[in-house]
Structure 1
């Protein structure tokens, strides 16, 4: 190769690099313009809109993220932006809303394709009902049919609810719906592996950003429109989701038990004292050890017709497993398992691991009538007054939430456990509440 040819090759290589750098520079400039335009319409999402660092990624035809980076194709942005900037605005917002609602980390055991579709429908439903000019577009006939079908369900919409619904939609072609609602790529979402015992964890970063967005919306009074009320409700439900394992530990009390704690003294000094002075150890071991222990615990099962029997059994199994794992059940432990609708139908008491296992093995659900939460509380109060329950650490009430709540706050910690969306306003302010998914219960996670 001659010197002239080598010089031309170097110049061409230099020009190619320069062209690539220019395209990336212009693509990121477009992304910043999109972000600014969205910020003007959605100021309550200012931090979330700026939470991703831009990362070029060739071979994709849209935007994508795994929670830390915004992946883009420079060629795609440069081609689409001059023709359809609103589409890219919607795509950017669509992706950020996925992260605010933590969709990439909530798949669980659900079918990946159906979960992706449910999440996309949820986000597009929100955006299609927004009145901001930066994301407005005409809603097509297919989308209007889908939205009408969703609104007929009579439940507050969420990706989980939509997932259950679309699997019953025989009048729709799911492949056609996937094409219609496809916006961003989910190729970078973390997917749960079958062998994983621990589900994919929500990054603290997006848990915090969801709370910040909620506070910003409430502070700015952004709950006038239907889509904003729905968005606020989605974030609140997300914040109510937490690990049932961690939640249950709050009902375990720290107390001292008389047993040697080998971690609280230096064994070398102890044996040195015995060796030098005979029976005089230099440091005595602590004879008390702080352990997590439930003294008395009450689990109430709503046995109304609206509560599924198999789900109840799995909930009890999960609760028992977590108790056995998280706390040291001693001979002083008493766990009351109540079945109640408009009256207390059954009270099974266990005082050991063996009794707990036996009770779960023979457990059958006693179905009844309508739900009234008050009889269970009156029954527990009577047991406390008679001395049959002492040192009650807490009461868990597993229910669908459709019942009459006590007006007066009890003297013990109380939590209502919901396996579906519920009316938050109906739950008394003194009660703890947690919403756990059917999948979390059925899989024992």
Structure 2
């Protein structure tokens, strides 16, 4: 007679093998219907979790309860396909990595709605389930809200330098849906109804693990997302299966994100710094010297090395009536966040923080991150006049020519863009940083760099700091 424990192990092994066949079949159906998902759909592995009564994905693998998967498959292969694509979309759009300080219940619901809306819009037989009346009603309400917002932007003559108009105005990203849901101020009963309607997988794995350890996976999915967009665009009009909303959302998500650390490196300088360089000698000779002579290596590492870091630049803040004081403060906090990392700057730095509306109102020189923190704690806006960018450029150019800022590499202007621009390029790099919902870039000269950030994104700083 077979040992009961052994019998149970064999039974579980058979069930796992059957589950793998189900997942493989589902993955193949998605690939055949949507070849552009090739790399993305192959990036997830599957692992049985007997304690789980559902599905969950953490960006690396799908954890599933075998009994739940069997019941889902019995109800229809289409439901398995939809569940796999639902989790894949969470990964592609990095929903598990981008909550920040948002309310978890609303964020989870927004992510599920974003994924299901895209799936419902794909006219593929392997995914087709007629949407319920509750879904159709919510989709219509969200659509109307986005169209009204798009109409308001047109009336304000606000244009964008990135993305197509359709993607900018109508793509349903999780961030946009979250904002709409918060404005709806749902009661507990309505939240429960919508959560039950759109929930496909659990999000408990999203909050686990070290955020730093998840960065490689996040980068992998960002790369996968760009590959999916490239593949869809290469297909052109060959795919009649309703993939336009997905492509629009990909274009929005793949816009150049506001990576302030990488952006600030445009203003870095290459300079020699006193620091042991572990790459300046051959380890083989070094170890050989130690083994041969005891304590006398044949080579010593260099005590200095050339490194590219931030040393001196200017931040100009538009203090006219059109710029929010809270947004300005969050922008400065982002700067502090970058400078808090030692690899971003030299030991001695010089940052000019200039307040300017139609004239230069103040110039505060910051030499370390502690001074910047003190400046932010006592920050007060000076100005509230019109907007003219020329005085700030003339002032900074004068600092450089007079020798007061000899190593200055660039100027960053935080503004809504509604002002008078200088005609001639300055003798240093210049960039205008805009808030997406407020800016106008019609008059930006061709010699200036542009960075567009979302208001919600920069306001997330407080949430990230609290975490």
Instruction: Answer with 1 or 2: which has the greater Rg.
Output: 1
Match of 1:22 among 14, 19, 29: 14
- Confirm whether residue 431 of structure 1 aligns to residue 449 of structure 2: yes
Match of 1:346 among 361, 371, 382: 361
Match of 1:319 among 335, 350, 355: 335
Q: Which ranges of structure 2 fall in alignment gaps of 5 or more residues?
A: 151-167, 282-297
| Structure 2 CA distance for partners of 1:366 and 1:146, relative to 1, 3 Å | farther
The farther-off stretch of 382-391 and 292-301 is 382-391
How much does 1:411 deviate?
Answer: 5.2
CA contact (8 A) 2:44 2:59 kept: yes
CA contact (8 A) 1:106 1:200 kept: no
| Structure 2 CA distance for partners of 1:370 and 1:424, relative to 1, 3 Å | closer
How much does 1:408 deviate?
Answer: 7.7
How much does 1:50 deviate?
Answer: 1.2
**Secondary structure of 1:240's aligned partner:** coil
Q: Which ranges of structure 1 fall in alignment gaps of 5 or more residues?
A: 1-6, 267-281
TM-score (norm 1): 0.75
Q: Residues 389-423 of structure 1: CA distance to partner in whole angstroms, max 9, x if unpaired?
A: 54431222334577788888765334444565789
CA contact (8 A) 1:261 1:285 kept: no
| Structure 2 CA distance for partners of 1:350 and 1:115, relative to 1, 3 Å | same
Aligned to 1:163: 178
CA distance in 2, matches of 1:370, 1:225: 46
| Structure 2 CA distance for partners of 1:42 and 1:307, relative to 1, 3 Å | farther
CA contact (8 A) 1:314 1:444 kept: no
Match of 2:192 among 156, 168, 175: 175
The farther-off stretch of 76-85 and 176-185 is 76-85
How much does 1:75 deviate?
Answer: 2.4
Alignment of 1:272-311 (within 5 A): 290=306, 294-303=310-319, 305=321, 307-311=323-327
CA distance in 2, matches of 1:288, 1:187: 47
**Secondary structure of 1:51's aligned partner:** coil
TM-score (norm 2): 0.72
CA distance in 2, matches of 1:235, 1:328: 33
**Secondary structure of 2:101's aligned partner:** coil
CA contact (8 A) 1:300 1:398 kept: yes
The farther-off stretch of 96-105 and 409-418 is 409-418
| Structure 2 CA distance for partners of 1:294 and 1:200, relative to 1, 3 Å | same
| Structure 2 CA distance for partners of 1:312 and 1:120, relative to 1, 3 Å | same
How much does 1:57 deviate?
Answer: 1.6
The farther-off stretch of 392-401 and 119-128 is 392-401
| Structure 2 CA distance for partners of 1:323 and 1:262, relative to 1, 3 Å | same
Aligned to 2:63: 71
- Confirm whether residue 201 of structure 1 aligns to residue 219 of structure 2: no
The farther-off stretch of 396-405 and 75-84 is 396-405
How much does 1:256 deviate?
Answer: 3.3
Q: Residues 334-388 of structure 1: CA distance to partner in whole angstroms, max 9, x if unpaired?
A: 43323355x3453414163486566444432246478776775566556656766
How much does 1:102 deviate?
Answer: 0.9
